[in-house]
Amino acid sequence: MNQHRAEDVAIDLRDPALYINRELSQLEFNHRVLAQAQDPSVPLLERLRFLCITCTNLDEFFEIRAATVLEQKALGVPAVGPDGFSPDELLGRIRERALELVDAQYRLWNEVLLPELAAHEIKVLGRDVWNARQRRWLNDYFRAEILPVLSPLGLDPAHPFPRILNKSLNFAVSLKGKDAFGRPAGMALVRAPRSLPRVFRLPAGIAGGENIFVTLAAVLAEFMDELFPGLQVRGSYQFRVTRNGELFVDEDDAENLAHALKDELRERGYARAVRLEIAQSCPREIASFLTGHFELDEQAVYRCDGPVNLNRMAAVYDMVSRPELKYPKFQPRIAIDPGDDGSLFDDIARADTLLHHPFDSFATVVELLREAAHDPHVLAIKQTLYRAGVDSPIVQNLVEAARNGKEVTVVIELRARFDEEANIALANRLQEAGVQVVYGVVGFKTHAKLMLIVRREAEGLRRYLHLGTGNYHPGTAKAYTDIGLLTCDADLAEDAGKLFQQLSGLGSVIRMKRLLQSPFTLHKAMLARIGREAANARAGRPSGIRAKMNALTEPAIIEALYAASQAGVPIELIVRGACALRPGLPGISEGISVRSLVGRFLEHSRVYWFANAGDPEVFGSSADWMERNLLRRIEACFPILDPALAARVVSECLDNYLADNSQAWLLQSDGSYRRITPGESMPHSAQSHLLAQVL
């Protein structure tokens, strides 16, 4: 076991006490997102949107992270990670912090957002405030639009408990009396149809306003008795079950990965239950009945003081046109404008171009691919796709390129979590157009972001390259911060060609000149550079590490950062989500600061900077410093070679964010976060600063 000395005391840098638990750190991120919803300086409808984001985040947390811990408990795994928590201990801590989050969500909804929305004439009407006219209209709506779609199920030996789909809205109904066949009524289930909107607008003439809404759940609860004529409805209670969202496919044994995934996707909605959300008013005996059926204990039950899925309130944000209650719209910059007669290829050939989304338009990437699809000099296009989105212009241009006779190869990651079905359909569409589709490498998700275009020019073949930190998804490019590099640097382009060769063919590891890639060189290269900074510090040479990423959990990287801090290296980290490193520990990490920034845009860019004894290195990457990214995925990390562009990356992605005193949170050594405030300093918001350069 490696040991280092600090202040003449031997310190084991693998001591579990030095590591924050990943799952608990991820929950802390969700609390920071909720703080945006609680912040009165944020536009009101954006606060509603942030609240909804915390709900979808929590869903995914239970589907993936909590579900994984439950599986480890079932398998008898003694410790989950480098922090040393047992699954039982971790599940207890998860529940404690998740309960606090759920309580804060519903208090915010009931006590703050609902009244403030109403003050702006945006109302979500509960059953208790419907007037007689509204109730009549809703009753007519129920009978005409909802009742014909419903299929209530009475529970008895002939009607056993049905399969309940993951995250679907259901009602447990308690009944009294006898039915038409003389059978005593007891319990029934009613599933809210997925084909109907969960939130809908009342007609202005009935509502008395333009933005008055009612939930499907409220309508179902109010008129539930019409589903059971002649019986007494003693109570109806919303519930929602969350299930394990991981797919289990033995890729080595799967003859066809796409077919194997299709089979597994059919069952994902009915996987093992991990959480039960029920109405606050649900009686204990009904809650016990449900937990018994889903094979859950009381620790998995979360009572909701309102709709069991607050995320459905996002429909209100979409349906209300009140610009003054949302973030101001902006028009991103066009980084390259070749004009009517120009070519993006000419501009890229003259100089590298840096794109910083969403402040620089993603349309430049789409336009480059569109031009390549129709340019008679372009011979081949090679592209990775992890998440592309529905009706993506990227995909349409790839189809056009294939139809125009280009040699098009696309590496599609079928196992992109929760996008598997969409990616299978995407692969089929591309194959039908004549695109060569590759599913990557068995056992390693392809997460790298590359687009390579081969073009015949007067001097011979030239390769044009786009490298990015984010997905080829025009939608997320408007909401996520990412950087991209457009270049025709010969070494980078050659390396990218080799990477595509590895993905589509067979052969040994290919040595690359400039690109670092997982799982072969990136992890080792990061450890080597961190170690180099430590050596430089000990020798009195300039040293320093600054990095921005989504998560930092890989134990060997954290251990190396601790050792570098002990050597005197100043380390400044910007980690949006989970961070397992504890900063500020005496003798270990006093020289390390970790901050998280939550704002209008989701921070997604990965940027690494190393002082390198006065000759700094700057990288962009698709990889976070996580075990999966560095050791179990195909990732690409690229140097920013142009000094002016490297300086821009440092200025915009590092200096700018490290100066933020308005939307940044500082990680404490105990794993909690403290929000940074301007105090007497001039307020500085990193995202607002970048937006000001666009507006």
Q: Are residues 157 and 62 in the same domain?
A: yes
> What's the whole-number mean pLDDT along residues 285-289?
94
Q: Are residues 631 and 649 in the same domain?
A: yes
Tell me: do 489 and 523 sit in the same domain.
no
Average pLDDT score over residue span 571-598 = 98
670 pLDDT more than 50: yes
pLDDT at 199: 97
Q: Which tokens is 240 given?
A: 């929602």
Question: Which pLDDT belongs to residue 1?
Answer: 37
Alpha carbons 572 and 565: distance in angstroms, whole number: 11
Cα–Cα separations (whole angstroms), residue 661 to 32, 46, 99, 363, 548:
15, 21, 29, 32, 17
Give residue 463's domain range.
Answer: 344-514
- The pLDDT-based confidence of 154 (bands split at 50, 70, 90) is confident
Residue 249: the pLDDT is 54
Strands 445-446 and 436-438, by their bridges, are unpaired
What is the set of active-site residues?
Answer: 447
Average pLDDT over every residue of 405-430: 86
Confidence of residue 422 (pLDDT cuts 50, 70, 90): confident
Q: What is the mean pLDDT of residues 536-561?
A: 98
Q: What is the pLDDT of residue 278?
A: 97
Specify the higher pLDDT residue, 102 or 247: 102
Is residue 605 domain-resident?
yes
Top-confidence residue, 260 or 462: 462
**Residue 518 pLDDT greater than 50, yes or no:** yes
Residues 565 and 613 both lie in one domain:
yes
Question: Considering 485, 514, 543, which residue would you say is the last residue of a domain?
Answer: 514
CATH number for the domain harbouring residue 361: 3.30.870.10
Contacts 24+ apart (CB under 8 A), 341-347: 343/371, 343/375, 344/368, 344/371, 344/486, 345/371, 345/375, 345/455, 345/464
* Of residues 233, 220, 237, 223, the one with CA closest to residue 285: 237
What percentage of the chain reaches a pLDDT higher than 70?
Answer: 95
Contact 31, 593 (CB under 8 A): no
What is the reported pLDDT for 650? 98
pLDDT at 253 over 50: no
- Report DSSP letters for 275-335, one per residue: EEEEETT--HHHHHHHHHHHT--GGGEEEESS-S-GGGGHHHHHH---GGGSPPP---B-S
How many CB atoms neighbour CB 266 within 10 A? 10
In a domain, 149, yes or no: yes
Structure tokens at 281: 């008013």
Token duo for residue 222: 């109010």
Q: What confidence score (pLDDT) does residue 65 get?
A: 94
User: Does residue 335 lie in a domain region?
Assistant: no
Q: Are residues 384 and 281 in the same domain?
A: no
Token readout for 166 is 């993951």
Quick one: 318 and 237 in the same domain?
yes
Contact 463, 494 (CB under 8 A): yes
Specify whether 200 is located in the same domain as 96.
Answer: yes
Same domain? For 97 and 202 the reply is: yes
Number of structural domains, the chain?
3
User: What's the average model confidence in pLDDT over 197-207?
Assistant: 95
- Asked whether residue 271 falls in the same domain as residue 370, the answer is no
Residue 332 placed within a domain: no
Query: Tokens 């996580």 map to which residue?
Result: 626
289-300: pLDDT as tens digits: 999 999 999 999
Label the pairing between strands 153-154 and 187-191: antiparallel
Is residue 256 pLDDT above 70, yes or no? no
> Does residue 105 belong to any structural domain of this protein?
yes
Q: How many CB atoms lie within 10 A of CB 39?
A: 14
Amino acid at 341: D
**SS3 of residue 79 by DSSP:** coil
- CB-based burial, 496-507: b 16+ in 10 Å, e otherwise: bbbbbebbbeee
Averaged pLDDT, 468-495: 96
Contact between 510 and 517 under an 8 Å Cβ cutoff? The reply is: no
Contact 274, 295 (CB under 8 A): no
Give the whole-angstrom CA distance, residue 669 versus residue 208.
53
Residue 680 lies in a domain: yes
How far, rounded to the nearest angstrom, does the alpha carbon of residue 116 sit from its chain's CA centroid?
29
- pLDDT of amino acid 440: 80
Q: Do 47 and 173 fall into the same domain?
A: yes
Where is the domain boundary, 514, 530, 545?
514
> In this structure, are 304 and 449 located in the same domain?
no
Contact 250, 218 (CB under 8 A): no
Tell me the CATH number at 114. Answer: 3.30.1840.10
Q: Average pLDDT, stretch 467-483?
A: 96
- Return the pLDDT at 157: 61
Give the pLDDT mean for 611-622: 98
Tens of pLDDT, residues 73-123: 988 988 778 999 999 999 999 999 999 999 999 999 999 999 999 999 999
Nearest to 266 by CA among 247, 239, 253, 251: 247
pLDDT over 50 (residue 178): yes
Do 431 and 508 sit in the same domain of this protein? yes
Across 650-675, average pLDDT: 98
**What pLDDT, on a 0 to 100 scale, did the predictor assign at position 391?**
83
pLDDT digits (tens, 9 = 90+) for 358-403: 999 999 999 999 999 999 999 999 999 998 877 899 999 999 999 9
| Domain stop point among 291, 325, 359 | 325
CA distance 352 to 248: 42
Residue pLDDT, tens place only, 115-135: 999 999 999 999 999 999 999
User: Hey, is 181 helix, strand or coil?
Assistant: coil
Counts for the chain of helices (H) and strands (E), in that order? 23, 29
Q: Is residue 9 part of a domain?
A: no
pLDDT at 675 exceeding the cut of 60: yes
> The whole model's pTM is what?
0.93
Judge whether 11 lies within some domain. Answer: no
More confident residue, 261 or 548: 548
* Neighbouring C-beta atoms of residue 120, cutoff 10 Å: 14
Tell whether the model's pLDDT for residue 193 goes beyond 60.
Answer: yes
